[in-house]
A and B are shown apart, each in its own frame.
Chain A
């Protein structure tokens, strides 16, 4: 049973383990494996891209539930970053770059504003997680842009 529990735990966290154990140089990886191959990701699904991505997402930027936004947001863009938000801020004020990938979808994604609120499936106050990834899983990528190289 002990083996089983350990195995399940490994399975649950396999993505993070994979991401953190294989990539020593985030910038080099993004430059050589993502930016240089960005055309390969056009017309693929977000899910496919995430499976190819060997980095764990530490911060993401999505449309915000701002007052002047409609009840159903239409957004064709999400940014995935690979430093946590604290490091992003601290690096930013030192004028150090932060690697992120901006993903543009072929068609806008409809997001009920409620989804972005606290407690919603895309709750802006919580970290990137499987549920959020699944929300975008079948969205088709039009273009990716690697920032902060």
Chain B
């Protein structure tokens, strides 16, 4: 109790000059603003003021307003100075009759959140007392309207919440949403020697790609990647060694269904675009997606000549996927149902149907964690993140038997990953590799 009395006295010692008729109850923060903006200056011409912080243990804002106002009116009418005023004040509303609050008023103030008013010498014990108090209200007289507080907590400040949801401008030090920071994401894949199989697959993909480059439908798909918001796609045929196109489509939405098999057509690969649209967040979506894996596997199941899918991306990168292990691919497509295997969150917001792996974690969660790992820990460039995440996701989590390729210097090169162990054999890092 002694501590409480001392605390009340301390608070009252902060009392400034008072006078006038108006009595208003407000929040601590408003009071602070009043003082900061000179409302309590004796030379302000408003007759000065009175302020203090009062504890409301009833937890009832309306009652607190009345009680505090009455207390202050009495205090003002008696003209008591600090010590006596404190007693008067304490007798009026600081008695032991107060009970624990039953609710949380909107203007709850936790002193720990705002140590501004703590003077020199105000130590740990006093802090503990404050922390054990309940709700505090500020009271001021003749204060006028307090200034508003900006989103950065500055009274009268000019900061505001930008479209990104972040408080910007004013004194935040943030001039605008999405300010570019210096790039630190400069990690590159580790170069490793290619296996003979990887060389053969890369050469085959490169040869086909070179052979179809002059086909007009192929150019249309490339144009779509750069200039359209919609996907385009075309099937590539090979009739007696001559490549051609079949069933060019420009999607009404962001999905095209490139044919993998058709009577009388020897379709060997599919080609489609991942277009520049709202590709501004993960800034990727350039590489083959999980659905593309299914397309490839289904294609090969339907037509053994069908060997690969190409993706022309909006960022001018070119990707391909190719099956290197048909057994794994067949197992994958059997065990992970296609309809629920998309890695994107469900558009109907119904996660209950989302396919989960044996550990109960959804495919999306796995993929997302790879994305964060590659971004924050490995610091790969953002434009490579989704593609690299797909490499790891399809290899480590889905075990799909599919390899990813990216066209580099005119040649499709195989991407993979490497687990780096410490001396005891415990994995410590995972890196993307590219074979050359």
B177 touches A120 (CB 8 A): yes
Answer whether residue B192 sits at the interface, using C-beta atoms and an 8 A cutoff: no
B124 touches A89 (CB 8 A): no
Q: Would you give the 0/1 interface string for B393-436, flagging 1 where the beta carbon is closer than 8 Å to chain A?
A: 00011000000000000000000000100000001111000000
A93 touches B430 (CB 8 A): yes
Answer whether residue B311 sits at the interface, using C-beta atoms and an 8 A cutoff: no
- By a CB distance below 8 angstroms, the chain B residues around A67 are 254, 277-279, 281-282, 285
A66 touches B373 (CB 8 A): no
- By a CB distance below 8 angstroms, the chain B residues around A145 are 360
Closest residue on chain B to residue A108 by CB atoms: B349
Answer whether residue A85 sits at the interface, using C-beta atoms and an 8 A cutoff: yes
B369 touches A147 (CB 8 A): no
Q: How many residues of A are in contact with the other chain, CB < 8 A?
A: 52
- By a CB distance below 8 angstroms, the chain B residues around A22 are none
- By a CB distance below 8 angstroms, the chain B residues around A113 are 281
B361 touches A74 (CB 8 A): no
How far apart are the CA atoms of A63 and B361 in the complex, in Å?
15
Measured CB to CB, the closest approach of chain A to B112, in angstroms, equals 5
Measured CB to CB, the closest approach of chain B to A112, in angstroms, equals 7
Measured CB to CB, the closest approach of chain A to B326, in angstroms, equals 24
Measured CB to CB, the closest approach of chain A to B424, in angstroms, equals 13
Q: In B336-367, which residues have CB < 8 Å from any A CB?
A: 344-345, 349, 351, 359-361, 364-366
- By a CB distance below 8 angstroms, the chain A residues around B163 are 112, 114
With A68-B344, A115-B164 in contact, is A8–B115 under 8 Å at CB?
Answer: yes
Answer whether residue A104 sits at the interface, using C-beta atoms and an 8 A cutoff: yes
Q: In A56-100, which residues have CB < 8 Å from any B CB?
A: 59, 61, 63-69, 71, 73-77, 79, 85-86, 88-90, 92-94, 97-98, 100
Answer whether residue B221 sits at the interface, using C-beta atoms and an 8 A cutoff: no
Answer whether residue B178 sits at the interface, using C-beta atoms and an 8 A cutoff: yes
How far apart are the CA atoms of A37 and B351 in the complex, in Å?
22
With A67-B279, A125-B376 in contact, is A4–B115 under 8 Å at CB?
Answer: yes
B281 touches A148 (CB 8 A): no
Interface size on B, as a range, is 35 or more
Closest residue on chain B to residue A122 by CB atoms: B165
- By a CB distance below 8 angstroms, the chain B residues around A112 are 163, 165
With A86-B373, A147-B361, A148-B359 in contact, is A121–B351 under 8 Å at CB?
Answer: no
How far apart are the CA atoms of A59 and B127 in the complex, in Å?
33
Answer whether residue B1 sits at the interface, using C-beta atoms and an 8 A cutoff: no
- By a CB distance below 8 angstroms, the chain B residues around A93 are 396, 419, 427, 430
- By a CB distance below 8 angstroms, the chain A residues around B118 are 4
Answer whether residue A18 sits at the interface, using C-beta atoms and an 8 A cutoff: no
How far apart are the CA atoms of A76 and B163 in the complex, in Å?
22
B345 touches A117 (CB 8 A): no
A66 touches B281 (CB 8 A): yes
A3 touches B123 (CB 8 A): yes
Q: Would you give the 0/1 interface string for B363-383, flagging 1 where the beta carbon is closer than 8 Å to chain A?
A: 011101111110111000000
- By a CB distance below 8 angstroms, the chain B residues around A71 are 278
Measured CB to CB, the closest approach of chain A to B34, in angstroms, equals 24
Closest residue on chain A to residue B118 by CB atoms: A4
B282 touches A7 (CB 8 A): no
Q: Would you give the 0/1 interface string for A1-43, flagging 1 where the beta carbon is closer than 8 Å to chain B?
A: 1011001100100000000000000000000000000000000
- By a CB distance below 8 angstroms, the chain A residues around B373 are 85-86, 88-89
Closest residue on chain B to residue A73 by CB atoms: B345
A119 touches B377 (CB 8 A): no
- By a CB distance below 8 angstroms, the chain A residues around B344 are 64, 66, 68-69
Closest residue on chain B to residue A120 by CB atoms: B164
Most buried by A among B112, B277, B282, B344: B282
- Top 5 closest pairs, chain A to chain B, by CB: A65-B281, A121-B165, A120-B164, A115-B165, A119-B178
What 12 new A-B contacts, CB under 8 Å, besides A67-B281, A115-B164, A118-B178? A3-B123, A4-B122, A4-B127, A8-B115, A61-B364, A73-B345, A77-B351, A92-B396, A93-B396, A120-B166, A124-B371, A125-B372
8 sample A-B contacts, Cβ–Cβ < 8 Å, listed by A number: A63-B345, A64-B282, A69-B344, A77-B351, A116-B281, A117-B280, A119-B174, A125-B375
A interface residues with partner B (beta carbon < 8 Å):
1, 3-4, 7-8, 11, 59, 61, 63-69, 71, 73-77, 79, 85-86, 88-90, 92-94, 97-98, 100, 104, 108, 112-122, 124-125, 135, 145, 147-148
